[in-house]
Amino acid sequence: MLAAAFLFSAFTARLDEAPSIKELDGLAQKRDVDSLSKYLVGSPSGAHSPFKILKTNGAYEVGRFGWHAHELVSPSGKSYVVVSTPLTSEDSGELLFLRSGTGLQFVPESESYGIKLIRHDFDLKFDIPEKKAYLKDTLKLKPLAPTGEFVFRMSPQYLVGSISNAKGQGVPFKETDGVVAVAAPQKEDTYTIEYSGKVDLPNYAGSISTKEASLVNDYWYPMVARQPVPYDITIHAPGGWTPVGQGELVEDKSTTAEHMSRYRMDLPCVYYSVMAGPFKKLSKEVNGKWYSCWSSQMTESQMAAQAELYAPIIEFYHRFAPFPFTGYGAVDSLVYGGGALEAYSFTTWGHGSLPIEDAHEPSHTWWGGIINNTYLGSFWNESFAVFSEGLYRRNVAIGNSDERKLAFIRDGAGSEAYNEVPISESGVEVGGVGSSLGYGKGGQVLQMLEQLVGTDKMVEAMKEWIKKSKGTASDWGDFEATITQLNPKLGLKTFFDDWTRKPGYADLTVSDVRHEGGSVQMNLAFNGASYRIPLDVMVQYADGTRSFSTQDIASSGAITVASDKKPVLVSVDPWCRVLRKIEANENPDTIQTLIHSLPRYTDPAHSDYLSDGAGGTGTLSAPSDPNGKFIVGNPKTMPMMLDLCHRAGFDVMGDKLTYGSTTIDLNHGCALAIVDLGGGKRCLIGLGKTRVAADTGRAQVAITDDLGRFLRGKTEPKTSGNLTFKL
């Protein structure tokens, strides 16, 4: 007890004097948020302390390499403390504090110091053996208000060698761990900033090696308040390598010693990507735009497939605003850490992912590119990218649009992470929760909003939002204002109150379902908080016919659905698209859930069928009973398939398969179906060949084209489990 009391007294005494950098560094290394927060002056503490990111580790595990505190004395003599960690893109990990008496005054990254960045002009050289990048940034900037100095930020590994103004005069600066305090210009000026860094964080941020030189997921450029800024860049890569930059290629020269490319990026953006490697490049022109793929490993056929997949995606998104570039592409990277990262005119993908019908990353040209997101407030642009991907899959003019609309409804299942904070307050500092809310809840919320206002009005609002916010950073509140103004009679404020300004998700109970007086009646109750939801109800009759209706629900109470005759089944939220607690027994089997869980047998005569990512848990000998199996083959060489195809609705004649009124060539398309064998038994069957794995959404029956794109199919609503009732 005596020792503990002494330590407490000693710490209390230190609060009466300025903490040393050694003390702060020790607390940072221990991630002692509570002790660090006691030094804050004029900043929120507790759950809202700026130090909390030391424990949450940001949205993308920034902080995995540990935290340190550093002293920074600016050219004017101001004393700062920088608490930092090696950075990855779209995250935050350089906390800046101005010493104020004995305390620390937080300086948020959104602070612009009255400085406007106008345009960068970079010259970039790589030293491959030393894993270093050498950069010169000729930066045009101007003060919007009188200021003596300002701060810009980069990743900590970059060290500034010199800064000079347009007259060639040296500009005073001081730097600590990626934070640079520099004297501000008195009027519009051009600063030449020369800097370099060892870039060696593969699978996390930038990296340079004999495989690739990648400044992707890396803050390799000066930023002030994450302002969207256009730029030019000249990239010097080794001979035999190909540079890839954002925007338009305006100059390209290659010798045995060097490949130089110059790109012009006129779209102001916050996140910059550039890379170079021994890439092959394949490009295809479609309707006046070029679609490309860069890779050192993919086959020409795979690269061509990726280029072909992009064309309808980019054309579909023209409904929001014109595409700002002459083309789009994908880089297949050997060192990129995971998934993909948008760069507005291309996407970087980790190797092994392509080709893929990716409608998410290209949508970021609009959501994150044309309208920018700093990620400091929320992950709204990820929500709009997720929603846009679903909008594309449900509405693109490929195959049967009515059947697409059902196959690509997004599941509304809630997550415990949604209870942490509202999506309007879910920036990078809240940690992985912010990512979950952006990629998860936000997209689900937008799907429900589309139901309330209708698809056409939803697209109109997104289009109008771009007109208002083009070239600036934005967030949820701006979109709310736009769609509310366009739909004044819908009272959308209550929807946004529930879904963007309140944490959580709905939990429904339905009881006393009955048919009387020419209608189906029931009682709905919210367990806990109520939320405004568009609620689908399906009624099914003895002859197998079904009718669907949607109601705008905001509170517990009675629900009435018109029905002249008595149904045999009522299914509430039959497509499971309300953002709510969804029970496991509510989700029907789909092709996607079974394709990776059932043991697979492939007819030896058709070993090339479904060879591109079509799953199966093992290799079987020829089964006598198809129940619980994934059977791949053709009736011509595998008699069992004749009956199974007939049950699925497939008519197969050699290499031709007909489903309904649609016929595909099984050498350039595929068919998959869950087959009901009766008595609770079922199997999965598959036929055909594609260059890209089939995308079947939530369907139980699907046929695709050569690129794995959904053409036709059948998607069943929920007919058993929670919130279904037999009458």
Contact 291, 283 (CB under 8 A): yes
pLDDT digits (tens, 9 = 90+) for 315-339: 999 999 999 999 999 999 999 977 8
Give the number of residues written for the chain.
727
| d(C-alpha 548, C-alpha 177), whole Å | 60
**Residue 262, CA distances (Å) to 328, 335, 390 in order:** 17, 23, 35
Strands 115-127, 132-143: pairing is antiparallel
pLDDT above 60: residue 12: no
Measured in whole angstroms, the distance separating CA 55 from the mean position of its chain's CA atoms is 23
Please, which pLDDT band fits residue 146 given cuts at 50, 70 and 90? Answer: confident
Question: What's the whole-number average pLDDT of the chain?
Answer: 95
pLDDT above 90: residue 4: no
Please, which pLDDT band fits residue 10 given cuts at 50, 70 and 90? Answer: very low
Please, which pLDDT band fits residue 615 given cuts at 50, 70 and 90? Answer: low
Please compute Rg for the chain using Cα positions: 29
Q: At 482, phi and psi to the nearest 5? A: -70, -50
pLDDT of residue 618: 60
Q: What is the 3-state secondary structure (H, E, C) of 501-516?
A: CCCCCECEEEEEEEEE
**Residue 198, CA distances (Å) to 21, 112, 310 in order:** 26, 28, 35
Q: What is the 3-state secondary structure (H, E, C) of 682-714?
A: EEEEEEEECCCCCCCCCCCEEEECCCCCEEEEE
Nearest to 715 by CA among 582, 539, 591: 591
pLDDT above 50: residue 5: no
pLDDT above 60: residue 172: yes
pLDDT of residue 13: 35
Instruction: Give the least confident one: 34-43, 112-121, 208-217, 669-678.
Output: 34-43
In terms of Cβ atoms closer than 10 Å to its own Cβ (0-12, 13-18, 19+), residue 714 is middle
pLDDT of residue 428: 94
pLDDT digits (tens, 9 = 90+) for 464-510: 999 999 999 999 999 999 999 999 999 999 999 999 999 999 999 99
Q: What is the mean pLDDT of residues 118-132?
A: 98
Residue with tokens 């004017």: 76
Q: Cis omega before residue 355 (within 30°)?
A: yes
Contacts of 18 (CB under 8 A, 6+ apart): 99, 101, 102
Of the chain, the percentage scoring pLDDT greater than 90 comes to 93
| Order of strands, sheet of 103-107, starting from the edge strand that comes earlier in the sequence | 68-73, 79-84, 94-100, 103-107
- Positive/negative CA dihedral, 323, 324, 330, 335: negative
Task: Indicate the SS3 state at residue 105.
Answer: strand
Contact 216, 334 (CB under 8 A): no
pLDDT of residue 584: 93
pLDDT of residue 337: 78
pLDDT digits (tens, 9 = 90+) for 549-567: 999 999 999 999 999 999 9
| d(C-alpha 710, C-alpha 707), whole Å | 9
Angle, helix 455-469 to helix 476-486, in steps of 10 degrees = 120
Q: DSSP labels for 285-297?
A: EETTEEEEEEESS
- Strand extents, DSSP E, 376-518: 508-516
- Find the Cα–Cα–Cα–Cα dihedral 496, 379, 245, 116, rounded to 10°: 80
Contacts of 632 (CB under 8 A, 6+ apart): 600, 601, 602, 603, 606, 609, 610, 614, 616, 685, 686, 687
Contact 283, 331 (CB under 8 A): no
Please, which pLDDT band fits residue 279 given cuts at 50, 70 and 90? Answer: very high
pLDDT of residue 44: 75
pLDDT above 50: residue 9: no
Residue 213: count of CB within 10 angstroms of its CB: 28
pLDDT above 50: residue 679: yes
pLDDT of residue 617: 57
Nearest to 577 by CA among 727, 423, 405: 405
pLDDT digits (tens, 9 = 90+) for 65-108: 999 999 999 999 999 999 999 999 999 999 999 999 999 999 99
Residue with tokens 């000079």: 164
Protein fold of 508-585+722-726: Immunoglobulin-like (2.60.40)
Give residue 203's identity as a one-letter amino acid code.
N
| d(C-alpha 594, C-alpha 206), whole Å | 38
| d(C-alpha 144, C-alpha 115), whole Å | 6
**Residue 604, CA distances (Å) to 342, 610, 657, 666, 689 in order:** 41, 13, 19, 16, 14
pLDDT of residue 145: 87
pLDDT of residue 191: 98
Residue ranges per structural domain of the chain: 2-107, 508-585+722-726, 591-695
- Positive/negative CA dihedral, 350, 353, 358, 360: negative
Q: At 316, phi and psi to the nearest 5? A: -65, -40
Contact 574, 538 (CB under 8 A): yes
Nearest to 319 by CA among 393, 388, 222: 388
| d(C-alpha 513, C-alpha 525), whole Å | 13
Q: What is the mean pLDDT of residues 662-675?
A: 98
pLDDT of residue 591: 98
pLDDT of residue 619: 62
b/e per residue, 414-453, with b = 16+ CB within 10 A? beebbebbbbbbbbbbbbebbbbbbebbbbbbbbbbbbbb
| d(C-alpha 575, C-alpha 718), whole Å | 6
Q: What is the mean pLDDT of residues 708-721?
A: 98
